[in-house]
Amino acid sequence: MIPHLGFPDYFRIELGAGKLLGAIALILPFVPRKVKEFAYAGFTIIFVSAFIAHLASGDTCGDSFSLFGGFLFVLPEAE
Protein backbone atom coordinates (compact mmCIF):
# COMPACT_ATOMS: atom_id res chain seq x y z
CA MET A 1 0.00 0.00 0.00
CA ILE A 2 2.94 2.35 0.60
CA PRO A 3 3.88 2.64 -3.12
CA HIS A 4 0.20 3.21 -3.97
CA LEU A 5 0.21 6.23 -1.66
CA GLY A 6 3.37 7.60 -3.30
CA PHE A 7 5.79 7.04 -0.42
CA PRO A 8 9.24 5.47 -0.82
CA ASP A 9 9.61 1.83 0.20
CA TYR A 10 11.84 2.59 3.20
CA PHE A 11 9.03 4.63 4.77
CA ARG A 12 7.21 1.45 5.80
CA ILE A 13 10.23 0.44 7.89
CA GLU A 14 10.22 3.82 9.66
CA LEU A 15 6.48 3.58 10.30
CA GLY A 16 6.80 0.04 11.58
CA ALA A 17 9.61 0.93 13.96
CA GLY A 18 7.71 3.95 15.27
CA LYS A 19 4.55 1.94 15.83
CA LEU A 20 6.48 -0.81 17.58
CA LEU A 21 8.21 1.64 19.92
CA GLY A 22 4.91 3.39 20.62
CA ALA A 23 3.16 0.11 21.41
CA ILE A 24 5.96 -0.92 23.76
CA ALA A 25 5.75 2.45 25.52
CA LEU A 26 2.02 2.00 26.04
CA ILE A 27 2.24 -1.58 27.28
CA LEU A 28 5.07 -1.28 29.79
CA PRO A 29 3.81 -0.05 33.17
CA PHE A 30 7.02 1.71 34.24
CA VAL A 31 7.14 4.08 31.25
CA PRO A 32 6.50 7.68 32.41
CA ARG A 33 3.10 9.21 31.69
CA LYS A 34 4.57 11.94 29.47
CA VAL A 35 6.18 9.34 27.19
CA LYS A 36 2.83 7.54 26.90
CA GLU A 37 1.15 10.82 25.99
CA PHE A 38 3.68 11.31 23.19
CA ALA A 39 2.98 7.76 21.99
CA TYR A 40 -0.75 8.51 21.85
CA ALA A 41 -0.03 11.74 19.97
CA GLY A 42 2.23 9.87 17.54
CA PHE A 43 -0.44 7.26 16.79
CA THR A 44 -3.00 10.02 16.27
CA ILE A 45 -0.70 11.78 13.81
CA ILE A 46 -0.11 8.50 11.96
CA PHE A 47 -3.85 7.82 11.58
CA VAL A 48 -4.71 11.36 10.48
CA SER A 49 -1.78 11.37 8.02
CA ALA A 50 -2.86 8.01 6.61
CA PHE A 51 -6.38 9.35 6.11
CA ILE A 52 -5.07 12.38 4.23
CA ALA A 53 -2.66 10.25 2.16
CA HIS A 54 -5.47 7.92 1.09
CA LEU A 55 -7.67 10.82 0.05
CA ALA A 56 -4.79 12.47 -1.83
CA SER A 57 -3.98 9.26 -3.72
CA GLY A 58 -7.51 8.99 -5.08
CA ASP A 59 -8.99 6.37 -2.76
CA THR A 60 -12.68 6.64 -2.04
CA CYS A 61 -13.99 8.30 1.11
CA GLY A 62 -15.26 4.93 2.33
CA ASP A 63 -11.76 3.45 2.11
CA SER A 64 -10.29 6.48 3.83
CA PHE A 65 -12.83 6.51 6.65
CA SER A 66 -12.23 2.81 7.33
CA LEU A 67 -8.86 3.85 8.79
CA PHE A 68 -10.65 5.45 11.72
CA GLY A 69 -11.74 2.03 12.94
CA GLY A 70 -8.16 1.55 14.10
CA PHE A 71 -8.17 5.04 15.54
CA LEU A 72 -10.62 3.86 18.21
CA PHE A 73 -7.87 1.68 19.66
CA VAL A 74 -5.67 4.73 20.14
CA LEU A 75 -8.09 6.54 22.41
CA PRO A 76 -6.69 6.35 25.95
CA GLU A 77 -8.68 5.02 28.87
CA ALA A 78 -10.07 7.54 31.30
CA GLU A 79 -8.21 7.44 34.57
For residue 17, the one-letter residue type is: A
Q: What is the pTM of this model?
A: 0.73
> 9 — phi, psi (to 5°)?
-65, -35
Contact 7, 16 (CB under 8 A): no
- What's the farthest any 2 CA atoms get from each other in the chain? 43
pLDDT band at residue 78 using 50, 70 and 90 as cut-offs: very low
| Per-position b or e across 67-79, b if 16+ CB within 10 A of its CB | beeeeeebeeeee
Q: So what's the pLDDT on residue 34?
A: 93
pLDDT band at residue 38 using 50, 70 and 90 as cut-offs: very high
Per mean pLDDT, which of 29-33, 46-50, 56-60, 62-66 is the most reliable? 29-33
pLDDT band at residue 76 using 50, 70 and 90 as cut-offs: low
